[in-house]
Amino acid sequence: MTEHVLVTGGAGYIGSHACLALLEAGAEVVVVDDLSNASRESLRRVEQLTGRPLAGFHRLDVRDRAGLDAVFSRYSIGIVLHFAGLKAVGESVADPLRYYQNNVGGAMTLLEAMRCHGVRRMVFSSSATVYGDPQSVPIAEEAPLGPTNPYGRTKWMIEQMLADVVTADPRWQVVVLRYFNPVGAHPSGRIGEDPRGTPNNLMPYIAQVAVGRLPVLQVFGGDYPTADGTGVRDFIHVMDLAEGHVRAVQCCAHLPGLTRLNLGTGRGYSVLEVVAAFEAASGVRIPYRIVERRAGDVACCWADPRRAEVLLGWRAQRGLAQMCADAWRWQKMNPEGYGASAA
Ligand code: NAD
Ligand code: UD1
């Protein structure tokens, strides 16, 4: 019987691109998603783009143990990619218990179900946010951890939980992927990031200004100790990230215990460099205003991505121009996101 890949949160932004890459790589993919922050339409489009159907879609909260048991009983799951979770930093400060419940509680229930069904391989979506305010850049995996908000602490706690699970039973094989700043979209423009409400993150905000949904970009801080005074981040194309997941799935069986890997490009771009690149890609001027710094932001954050290259044979291929061109294509073709086609 073919082993299936279970993808939690597979209808979301990164999960949908990972499902596409997995289907293209020939995997049999089962998705569990409660659609709390996603549309079923993303996966319909993934099936159209790849010409391959998912092996299954289950609208399910990962905290629903009975529902998970039914999924694990129905398919022969070989590995779980765990994307499902809440991710808005500000929201996590306002409602921390919701974040601990959903993210930490969800991971715990999922791990218990996996243990019960003898599935011991996982790829977990962590974040560079676990490093908090980095002492130096580029950031390697051994850098001290110190998340500065409840969302980041949920990722840090789950990483610790995974380490304890692996220590208790060394048969487990877990790859923790710490993403830097995922942006962009599939080059078809058919799937992409569809934030609900006003975007918190830079690239979707710029894209909505470009398409006329928002009037002006507020640049948070012009007095950071960087070349142009604005914050610098390691933006990584979501298709590079998706391919990193395919490699993690392929390599997981050969990596013992717990492996922590940065997924970034290793180079930073400032907010104003991103604005300029987006203007060049779209031909649209992006009006912006420099305002106060955003609480909790750091000046610079970029990855040392060498360990992922050594252990996965993976390295980001796409540059900032392509990230902007693909984000723009998605936004232009879908000005309201999945909007009316969402079910
Ligand atoms: P997303 O919100 O688009 O995707 C998350 C998906 O999980 C959504 O489809 C949502 O409906 C689903 N979900 C949430 N809670 C669930 C639950 N309890 N049960 C079942 N499904 C649930 O977010 P994304 O940007 O695709 O992020 C995916 C993962 O990567 C998240 O864990 C996020 O924390 C992590 N991450 C994202 C970024 C980023 O910038 N986007 C950066 C670092 C890490
Ligand atoms: C944010 C989250 C981080 C998460 C990451 C995912 C915070 C504090 N951190 O990181 O936990 O893992 O997203 O990608 O929210 N900016 C503007 N104007 C805007 C939006 C952003 O100037 O309207 C600036 C920010 O100040 C920052 C840069 O753009 O310098 C990138 O911001 P953003 O896309 O929100 O990502 P991070 O803050 O790096």
CATH number of 4-338: 1.10.1040.10, 3.40.50.720, 3.40.630.30, 3.30.930.10? 3.40.50.720
> Measured between alpha carbons, how far is 30 from 80 in angstroms, rounded to an integer?
10
Ligand 2 close to Cβ of residue 220 (< 6 A):
yes
Q: How far are the Cα atoms of 194, 201, 212 from residue 285, in angstroms, in the given order?
A: 22, 19, 11
Predicted local confidence at residue 222, as pLDDT: 98
322 CA → ligand 2 middle, Å = 20
Q: For residue 231, what is the DSSP state? A: -
pLDDT per residue over 263-296, tens digit each? 999 999 999 999 999 999 999 999 999 999 999 8
> Measured between alpha carbons, how far is 14 from 239 in angstroms, rounded to an integer?
9
151 flagged as catalytic: yes
181 CA → ligand 2 middle, Å = 8
Predicted local confidence at residue 2, as pLDDT: 82
The answer to whether residue 1 scores a pLDDT higher than 70 is no
Q: Please, what's the largest Cα pairwise distance for the chain?
A: 59
Residues pairing with 233 in the sheet: 269, 301
The answer to whether residue 343 scores a pLDDT higher than 60 is no
Ligand 2 close to Cβ of residue 130 (< 6 A):
no
Query: Cβ distance 186 to 192 under 8 Å?
Result: yes
Closest ligand to the CA of 109: 1
- The counts of H helices and E strands in the chain are 12, 14
86 CA → ligand 1 middle, Å = 6
Ligand 2 close to Cβ of residue 233 (< 6 A):
yes
Query: Cβ distance 89 to 136 under 8 Å?
Result: no
49 CA → ligand 1 middle, Å = 22
Candidate of 30, 37, 162 to mutate for ligand 1, largest count of ligand atoms within 8 Å of Cβ: 37
Active-site pick, 13, 75, 99, 151: 151
The closest of 140, 133, 180 to 316, measured between CA atoms, is: 180
- pTM, rounded to two decimals: 0.98
Predicted local confidence at residue 342, as pLDDT: 54
Residue nearest to atom 6 of ligand 2 (CA): 181
Residue written as token pair 């305002």: 291
Ligand 2 close to Cβ of residue 294 (< 6 A):
yes
> How confident is the model over 225-231, as a mean pLDDT?
98
> Measured between alpha carbons, how far is 55 from 35 in angstroms, rounded to an integer?
18
Q: In what order do the strands lie in the sheet with 232-233?
A: 269-270, 232-233, 300-301
Closest ligand to the CA of 71: 1
Q: Which two tokens stand for residue 164?
A: 């304890």
> Measured between alpha carbons, how far is 59 from 69 in angstroms, rounded to an integer?
14
> How confident is the model over 118-131, as a mean pLDDT?
98
> Measured between alpha carbons, how far is 246 from 251 in angstroms, rounded to an integer?
9
Predicted local confidence at residue 29, as pLDDT: 98
84 CB-near residues (< 8 Å, 6+ apart): 8, 9, 12, 15, 32, 33, 34, 62, 106
Ligand 2 close to Cβ of residue 238 (< 6 A):
no
In the chain, domain spans: 4-338
Give the atom of ligand 2 at the shortest distance from the alpha carbon of 295.
8
pLDDT per residue over 32-57, tens digit each? 999 999 999 999 999 999 999 999 99
Of all residues in the chain, what percent carry a pLDDT higher than 70?
99
> How confident is the model over 257-264, as a mean pLDDT?
98
The answer to whether residue 221 scores a pLDDT higher than 70 is yes
